[in-house]
Every structure is written in structure tokens, then in C-alpha cells.
Amino acid sequence: MEFFVDTADVNEIRELAETGLLDGVTTNPSLIMKSGRDIMEVTKEICGIVDGPVSAEVTALDYEGMMREAAVLAKIADNICIKLPLTMDGLKACKALTSDGHKTNVTLCFSANQALLAAKAGATYISPFIGRLDDMAIDGMELIEDIRTIYDNYDFKTKILAASIRTVNHVKEAALIGADVATVPPSTLKALVKHPLTDKGIEGFLADWAKTGQKIGG
């Protein structure tokens, strides 16, 4: 599974990129607003930190507007992935952009039928929103499982990018089902490494080591 981080905070992105665990970044208008920075400036900086795809989202709702905005965003860097809404105009733009060689991320997916259409349109990534379905008492993991089955049935190349992830269990369950990518907040990615028994084991090892009076390399 690939890990993308869902943020426009360059400090968080830089910190995670240094671990070698980060494969890409997803942004959206809300995250850009939270950063307080110009979209072109912050997106260009992010693209310089990571080698993998950086999703930058259009805000237009009509096909012509999406294509105009996509042309601007695509010029930021070679690793830009154009993020599009799952509407008919969004799917039309997806088809046109992928045909021109651009990476695309079709977002706000809440049904298997929507995911099927995105794959037919040639989307590089489909972003089903797990957490928002869970908020409505609908099991978001069932959607991931349905999409995985459909894509495997027809050998679609579109990658399942599990989004709206709220917990470390969401990550585990998405990985077990076979999602290709998980995009997570920085805090969730950092939380994946934590376990109380790991902390307890380290504490015990250090206590025993201190009793030896030894030092490594000095």
C-alpha cells in the first residue's frame, strides 16, 4: 500500500518525506484555506518536496472551467495530479486529461457505481470517502471492498485511493481489502507506528542497558 498525506502544511510534509514512508500528497480547497497560502505557491513547494503525485483540485463545476483550471495547475510541476469532482463534467474532464497524459484523481466518491464510471473515464485514482460514509452509519469499508471486486473483475488500472480516513483501523482495514493507496492526515500516519508494548519493550531494554554501564561507540 502507498501512503499519501492529506495536508497542505509543508512542514508536516517535509518531516514525513524524510522518513521515506511518503509516496504522495493530496490537497483540496479546504486544506489550502487552512494553510493560509496562495494555491500556486504552496502547491509548487509541495511538489518540490515529494517525488510522487501531488493532487491539486479544480474548483470549477463546468467542463470548460475545469479544463482551464487544470491547464494552469498542470504547469506547476510534472508530478501534479489533477483532482476532479465525481460529476458528469468531472468525468468528461477526466477522460480528456488522461487522454492527454495527465494523472487524475476523481474525488468525492460514495458509491461503487460512481467508481465504475471513474474507471471507465480512465481516472488514475478514485477517492472513496470512508469516514463521511461512516458518519452516516454506512460502512465505508464495504464500498472499498465493492470497488476492489469490480476493478478486479474488469482489470481496471484505476487505483483505489482510500480517503476521509479517521483512524488507524481504517488504514488496516483498507489494506486488508486491497486499497492501493491510503491518504491520511499527518497525525494518523504518525500514529501507525505507535503501540504500548513497543514503548514498554524499549523502556525495559534501556533499563537493562543502563545497568551494564556500557556505551556504544564511546
Q: Which residues are known to be catalytic?
A: 83
Q: Cβ neighbours of residue 68 under 8 Å, at least 6 residues apart? A: 60
Q: What angle do CA 8, 54, 115 make, to 5 degrees?
A: 110
In whole angstroms, give the CA distance from residue 29 to residue 35: 10
Q: DSSP assignment, residue 20?
A: T
Round to the nearest angstrom and report the end-to-end CA distance of the chain. 40
One-letter identity of residue 51: D
**Torsion angle of the four alpha carbons 67, 63, 158, 138, in this order, in degrees rounded to the nearest 10:** 130
One-letter identity of residue 201: G
In whole angstroms, give the CA distance from residue 61 to residue 49: 30
